[in-house]
Structure 1
Amino acid sequence: MSDVSDWWETSIIDMEPGRIDIRGHAIQDLIGNLSFCQMIWLMLRGDMPTTDQARLMEAALVAGVDHGPQAPSIATARMAITCGVGLQSAMASAVNMLGDIHGGAGEQAVLMYHHLRDAGQDRKTALQSWIDQHGPILPGFGHRFHKPVDPRAPRLLQLVAESAANGVVTGVFSDIATWVENHLAETRSTPLPMNIDGATAVIFAELGFEAPLARGLFCLSRSVGILAHAWEQKQQGGRNKGPTPPDYRWTYRP
């Protein structure tokens, strides 16, 4: 290490008094010219998305903002705000609920799509090898509430199809995800249609985002809903609200 400044190394930001450069662009040139979605892309990848790429990415971010107050992340935000913490603490508590089961399906779906693309086998064999390794629950398919269709998925796939027709993306991952959905409809007594995680995973995979970023981008998207619900609960009031009304008791087993 030649100098203490080498302790942290970054290609994201360079600055000195009176100057801030983000990925080589003066911040004043970005302000008012880049959308928030385009800024996210620039920060993560270092280049500028095309207008069509940004539009597709933004569609995925818009689609995932909320899942209702029964979703663990949203419920956590609302409960936390009634405990007297600030919005930032409520949001942090909620984001920390986005784990492998609630929040991780998009990342897992991207990995599964890549597996089906790269396995060098027919898709049925490749899917079975994924199930043998990861278990029978397929990330991105099925929904406990939205039956028989998650209304967000068809619209997102429509946008992917339009983007593929215009040469923005290849459509390879959309084709794989649609095949999985059709395969499940043919082989299971209860179909498991694609859900929001499966559809946004298609978009992130088509745009070339690594699988962990699919979860990170979902966290950004869901943070909008978390903030809105925490703020709404703040306006409604309430003190120390738990997951159920106080007249409801838990089951005690000695």
Structure 2
Amino acid sequence: MNETRSTDARYPTALGYSTPTSITLLGDDLAQDLMGKVGFGELSYRLVTRRRPSPGQTRVFEAVLVALADHGLTPTSIVTRLTYLSAPDSVQGALAAGLLGGGSRFLGVTQDTGAFLCDALERQQRDGGTLPRSSGEWDALASHAVAEAHAAGRHVPGLGHHIHKKADPRTARMMQIARENECFGPHLELFAAIGRVHPDLLGRTLPLNGAGVCGAALLDAGIPASLLRGIALLARAAGLLGQLSEEMAAPSAYRMFLELESGAEPMDPTPAG
């Protein structure tokens, strides 16, 4: 069947474009200008923002990818392994299954924290205020945001971790990297202030978690707030591929399945209440 290309259809794009002899990506020749010259992290940043990152932005962006890549046998990696057990002919299905599990409890915290920080900063400026200039002013803004969320019964994203009860090892390091690369901006300032003020407001001390600090760092590095979860999934795709590689070499999903199957016990099917 011969297909003809309509001369009337136009679909503008600044991303990839191919001709019989070349491939153009972001205005550059893919083969000559990008391959072997640009790292995947820098290219990903450019694809998302349509601009070239500074060296500091690239370092922060890539540090986030490393921080979120893999955390062991989490729900996302478990479902990837189990899906591969069920359909070993579908690597893409196993990867997709793990990525689909990125939500409000795992991975999605990066975007939820970013949204919380953006909302607090935008309201501050919308109400005629300016960005804080001292740690005391940052603490005041953070106190207002945390107290408001607490009064409404909402969780403050970026606080707490199921394993790292005192301190998430990624948080201080990410802040250090951002400072070293002149990317420590208002979102990280506010996030750090939340860490200082929340114990008095919530009545307990929780660690600032790595997913949350990654959201703040990405915002200060120039990533749009609406795409933060996508960046977290980009990072986790590499980790899930590693999980698949290990599952192929040293299978464990079948043992997980057998444990769950042997642990199943009957219960009354009548709905409670």
Give the TM-score normalised by the residue count of structure 2. 0.82
**Which residue in 1 is equivalent to 2:111?**
107
Q: In structure 1, the residue corresponding to 2:18 is in which secondary structure?
A: strand
| RMSD over equivalenced CA pairs, Å | 2.2
Q: Are 1:139 and 2:152 counterparts?
A: no
The Cα shift of 1:241 comes to 4.5
Other structure's SS at 1:68 match: coil
Runs of 4+ more than 3 Å apart: 2-5, 126-133, 237-241, 243-246
CA contact (8 A) 2:149 2:155 kept: no
> Over alpha carbons, which structure has the higher Rg?
2
2:211 aligned to which of 183, 191, 197: 197
* 1:156 alignment counterpart: 174
Deviation at 1:103, TM superposition (A): 2.2
Residues 248, 109 of structure 1: CA spacing in aligned structure 2 closer, same or farther, 3 A cutoff?
Answer: same
Q: Which residue number in structure 2 is paired with residue 27 of structure 1?
A: 30
CA contact 1:115–1:126 (8 Å) conserved in 2: no
Equivalent positions of 1:68-107 (< 5 A) are 68-69=72-73, 71-85=74-88, 86-107=90-111
Aligned length: 246
Task: Give 1:13's aligned residue.
Answer: 16
Check whether the contact 1:107–1:215 (CA below 8 A) recurs between aligned residues.
yes
Give the whole-Å Cα distance in 1 for the aligned partners of 2:258 and 2:122.
Answer: 43
* 8 Å Cα contact 1:79/1:243 also seen in 2: no
Displacement after TM superposition at 1:250 (Å) = 4.3
| 1:57 matched to 2:61 | yes
After superposition, give the CA deviation of every residue in 1:17-56 in whole Å (9 maximum; x if it has no partner). 1111111100021001000001101211222112221011
**Alpha-carbon separation, structure 1, partners of 2:258 and 2:219:** 36
**Closer, same or farther in 2 for the Cα pair 1:223/1:187, shift >3 Å?**
same
- In structure 2, the partner of 1:127 is 146
Quote the Cα distance in structure 1 between the aligned partners of 2:165 and 2:75: 20
Q: For structure 1, which segment, 84-93 or 200-209, has the greater mean C-alpha deviation from structure 2 after superposition?
A: 84-93
Deviation of 1:220 after TM superposition, in Å, equals 0.6
Equivalents in 2 of 1:217, 1:251: separation in Å?
Answer: 42
The alpha-carbon deviation at position 144 of structure 1 amounts to 1.0
- Distance in 2, matches of 1:63 and 1:187, equals 29
How far apart, CA to CA, are the structure 1 residues paired with 2:222 and 2:147?
A: 25
Question: Contact (CA 8 Å) 1:184, 1:191: kept in 2 or not?
Answer: yes
1:231 alignment partner, one of 245, 260, 273: 245
Task: Supply the AA of the counterpart residue of 1:236.
Answer: A
Deviation at 1:189?
Answer: 3.5
Q: Would you say the 8 A contact 2:65–2:231 is kept in 1?
A: yes
Of 231, 246, 251, the residue aligned with 1:217 is 231
Matching residue of 2:43: 39
1:250–1:57 CA distance, 2 compared to 1 (3 A): farther
- Report whether the alignment pairs 1:242 with 2:249: no
Q: Which residue of 1 aligns with 2:3?
A: none
Deviation at 1:239, TM superposition (A): 4.2
User: 2:193 is matched by which residue type in structure 1?
Assistant: W
Q: What are the ranges of 5 or more consecutive residues in structure 1 without an aligned counterpart?
A: none
